[in-house]
Amino acid sequence: MVLCMQKITLLALTKRKQVTLHKLLLRGLFGVLLSTLPFGASVALANDKDKLETRYSVMSMKAAESLLVDAVNINGKLIVVGARGHILVSRDHGKSWKQAKVPTQNLITAIYFASSDVGWAVGHEAVILHTRDGGDSWDFQYGAPFLPAGYDDYAGDSAGDSAGVESDVSDEDLYAIDRSGSPLLDVWFKNEKEGFAIGAYGYFLHTSDAGKTWEDWSKRLGNIDGWHLNAISSIDGNLVYVVGEKGVLFRSTDGGDSWDVLTSPYDGSFFGMVVGPGINEMIMFGLQGHVFRTSDSGDNWREIETGNQNGLMAGILYGDRGVILVGNGGVMMFSKDDGNSFVKQVTDDRNSIAGIVKTDKNKLILIGQGGVKLATPSKSLVGMD
């Protein structure tokens, strides 16, 4: 999940080639610079998890009050993730939280479970973590830390030697760009074996063996410009969407084997989506509070006027026809008609909200700048009065 982005262009010199690259400025919901990461020349995808610095997330009594950015409800068990490698588990509907043992202090950006016990979490330095005990403990599956020594090997040519060779850069070069050190921003699994992890600079990883090995599938997606990919979601395991920076929008109708580039209704960043309630319905949202809705699997889009200009970061379905979106400045958008219209409310503390999940007691877990908060939505706002 991306909090805020800006794109600029760098020129990185290789042996007789120039490659146009992107430099990610990940600013926090609250204006904090999360990372500014250099890039190297194109290299083959490699799993450098053994080169990651293994520093276990520090156990803290205040972990539930720290920055958290994603949450899931797995058969009544709540799990939230965020800064410093924090992963927290609640078995009492959010009243209390137990910190999991996690072998990284990197920011964890997203979490997904394929079953009650088997799940994955992703984060900075392309960290992919795996659990088989419902989130109580985690192990490294993948990582791609930035390695300065490797950068020196191919950055030796002078600007004069490479002038005028930009036309030599092939599509293969662009897809094979070295993304070492970059963050993964979302993860989704079709089942306990096959899944995807996506992120900055067009990161698009695929596994068919439960994460034992990961492949670079960026060429299949067709994101040749390397725009940041912010969210991936599906309602049935077959119809899958990916949204990201610069309004990029992709759809698969075969569970991710092949992808179509959809015509986007907006050229700003999308940060997330809510798929459903109908099989062909989806709502996507992002920069400056823009919200778009489709009822035909993305062939056509309608912008929903909300009167909100705060960035929207996450959302859920609630009840039969309710939709709730949350975002910067404590904004909460409520719909009781499948997302065709919204009512805006703002939390008292105005802390930015990065994630939301519903408990089995129909309460809301809000996570973000202030950690975890428990809330009860007005039934009239979500069509349950």
Count CB atoms within 10 A of the CB of residue 45.
15
In order along its 385 residues, the chain shows pLDDT tens digits of 444 333 322 223 232 222 333 333 333 443 332 333 333 332 335 677 777 777 899 999 999 999 999 999 999 999 999 999 999 999 999 999 999 999 999 999 999 999 999 999 999 999 999 999 999 999 999 998 876 654 444 444 433 343 443 446 566 656 666 777 899 999 999 999 999 999 999 999 999 999 999 999 999 998 989 999 999 999 999 999 999 999 999 999 999 999 999 999 999 999 999 999 999 999 999 999 999 999 999 999 999 999 999 999 999 999 999 999 999 999 999 999 999 999 999 999 999 999 999 999 889 999 999 999 999 988 778 776 5
| Per-residue pLDDT, 87 | 98
CB atoms within 10 A of CB 140: 17
DSSP bridge pairs for 240: 234, 252
**d(Cα 215, Cα 141) in Å, to the nearest integer?**
13
Do 276 and 335 meet the contact criterion of CB atoms below 8 Å apart? no
Q: Is residue 227 part of a domain?
A: no
Q: What was the pLDDT predicted at 25?
A: 32
Give the C-alpha separation, 321 to 80, whole Å. Answer: 25
The answer for residues whose C-beta is within 8 angstroms of residue 311's C-beta and 6 or more apart is 4, 271, 286, 287, 288, 289, 327, 328
30: Cα within 13 Å, side-chain hemisphere: 12
231: in domain = no
The residues, any chain, with a CB within 8 Å of residue 179's CB and separated by 6 or more, are: 39, 126, 144, 199, 200, 201, 202, 203
Residue 333 phi/psi, 5-degree rounding, is -110, 125
Residue 339 exposed, middle or buried by CB count within 10 Å (0-12, 13-18, 19+): buried
Q: Encoding tokens for residue 311? A: 């960035």
How do 270-275 and 282-286 pair as beta strands? antiparallel
Range of the domain at 324: 311-373+380-385
Whether residue 356 is contained in a domain is answered as: yes
319 assigned to some structural domain: yes
Closest CA to 119 of 200, 197, 221: 197
Q: Look at residue 318 and tell me if it is in a domain.
A: yes
**What is the Cα–Cα distance from 355 to 230, expressed in whole angstroms?**
14
- 106 in a domain, yes or no? no
Quick check: is 333 in a domain?
A: yes
pLDDT computed for residue 162 by the predictor: 39
Phi then psi for residue 84, to 5 deg, are 60, 25
Residue 253 located in a structural domain = no
First to last CA, the chain: 33
DSSP letters for 145-204: ---HHHHHHH----HHHHTT-GGG--HHHHHT-B-TTPPEEEEEESSSS-EEEEEGGG-E
pLDDT on residue 173: 59
Give the ranges where 235-317 is alpha helix by DSSP (H).
none
Number of structural domains in the chain: 1
Which pLDDT value is given to residue 215? 94
Angle in degrees, CA 338, 270, 313, rounded to 5? 70
Structure tokens at 157: 């040519």
